[in-house]
Chains A and B, each alone.
Chain A
């Protein structure tokens, strides 16, 4: 990549940060060029974020309908899935899946709730409720 071809598409996902890119200067030598981002990269990053948002919305609807516990919403809201949540809490996957159901979730001990709250980086009170939709 030529130094002048280093993408400088002001992308929002970088939040104003610049990335160091390796590119070739006019003498054919590699040099580091700061980049404010590349549209192609932003597209695929947004795609991944939108997927989490979609899962969040669907989980919210299920929680409201009484089909899922708020844990499911918070899991996706923290960009996790059942595997990542199980790994970060030390619960088994099948346990996490059960706790996504309201009947099992309501029986969780304060200690178990704390494990989830810690892994998700929220308070126990937040864990038990849905945040107001934006």
Chain B
């Protein structure tokens, strides 16, 4: 049996992009966890960008933009990322079929809205969802979607639609896989570099919309919502719900990726023999718990189970900002 014909192993993951690329690397014989892929790519962030609107709501992100992980991880680990995009959707499907005929698993960028195996409630126009296609049976592609517990299938028409939607972050049929994957890499060095770069972004950013400063800016925004509560309550609730939705929506590992990154720090502590990373991982876990507390209170207020209290939500965010500042300053000082 050739290397490529070995069966693809599906692994349930918290986040689509780190799940896909770590699975593809493991398939090529490079053992790496999802959390390690996420951390090495320096994918954690906070961004509050009022000028970019999605469905009338500002862009709020807890991780770096789509494709950041696949691009940066290849640089950190020193392999090549093979990518193909297509102007013609029929050609894009033919190219995919050629890989499927060789049993070559490939990563695909897709729109969640057109993937039939997601429940209707979860299908929104998010065009940067990643999954692995690893085979074809009749009209159905065999799909390993890391955010779904078991492998699924998707018919040709739906997959084509999903790969070739137009709009924000349009996939253009993006298909990718790692090439020339090394079997062994000393991870200690890239781990340190990745942690430094990520910590720098969180606490040393020159723009007020990123990292810890972004969290403070969002806090200020939420505090300010109190002023128009009487006339704008419904919209305010949608805004707060949106903040939480971006934090908890599928593929964050909960708490806006903080637990996922803490898991990376914990694993890194072992690899680098640096116990301090383990201690900081515990600290970051507690920051994640604070994010969850914030989400819980926000949801209760949106639902009317608790009285709406903008100031208390804003205070919670300020506390989170302080805690994150401490975590990333410590990481920067290592």
- A interface residues, Cβ below 8 angstroms from B: 1, 12-24, 28-30, 32, 34, 38-41, 43-49, 51, 78-81, 83-84, 87-90, 119, 121
Contact = CB atoms under 8 A, between A and B. Distances in A.
Contact of B125 (A12, A19, A21, A84): A84
13 contacts: A14-B122, A15-B121, A19-B14, A21-B14, A22-B263, A23-B259, A34-B12, A40-B248, A40-B299, A41-B245, A44-B248, A45-B249, A81-B55
B144 to A, nearest CB: 13
Interface residues of B, number: 57
Contacts of B281: 30
B266 A30 contact: yes
Contact of B262 (A17, A22, A87, A121): A22
A88 B124 CA distance: 14
B253 interface: yes
A76 B250 CA distance: 22
A40 B122 contact: no
B250 to A, nearest CB: 7
A21 to B, nearest CB: 5
Given A30-B35, A48-B242, 8 more contacts: A15-B122, A22-B254, A22-B262, A22-B263, A32-B13, A47-B302, A51-B238, A87-B170
B221 to A, nearest CB: 17
A93 to B, nearest CB: 12
SS of B interface (majority) = helix
A81 B260 CA distance: 33
Most central of A19, A78, A80, A121 by chain B CB within 10 Å? A19
B9 interface: no
B138 interface: no
Given A44-B302, A87-B168, A21 B259 contact: yes
Contact of B248 (A20, A30, A38, A83): A38
B161 to A, nearest CB: 7
Given A1-B288, A44-B241, A87-B166, A79 B124 contact: yes
Given A22-B263, A41-B248, A84-B125, A32 B12 contact: yes
B256 to A, nearest CB: 12
Contacts of A22: 14, 35, 253-254, 259-260, 262-263
Enumerate the 4 nearest inter-chain pairs by beta-carbon distance, A residue then B residue, closest first.
A15-B119, A87-B167, A30-B263, A40-B299
Interface in B215-247: 237-238, 241-242, 244-245
Contacts of B266: 29-30
Interface stretch (B64-72, B189-197, B290-298, B310-318): B290-298
Contacts of B14: 19-22, 32
A1 B199 CA distance: 22
A44 B245 contact: yes
Interface string B115-128: 00011111111000
Contacts of A40: 244, 248, 292, 295-296, 298-300
Given A15-B119, A84-B167, A24 B12 contact: no
Contact of B289 (A1, A84, A90, A119): A1
A17 B119 contact: yes
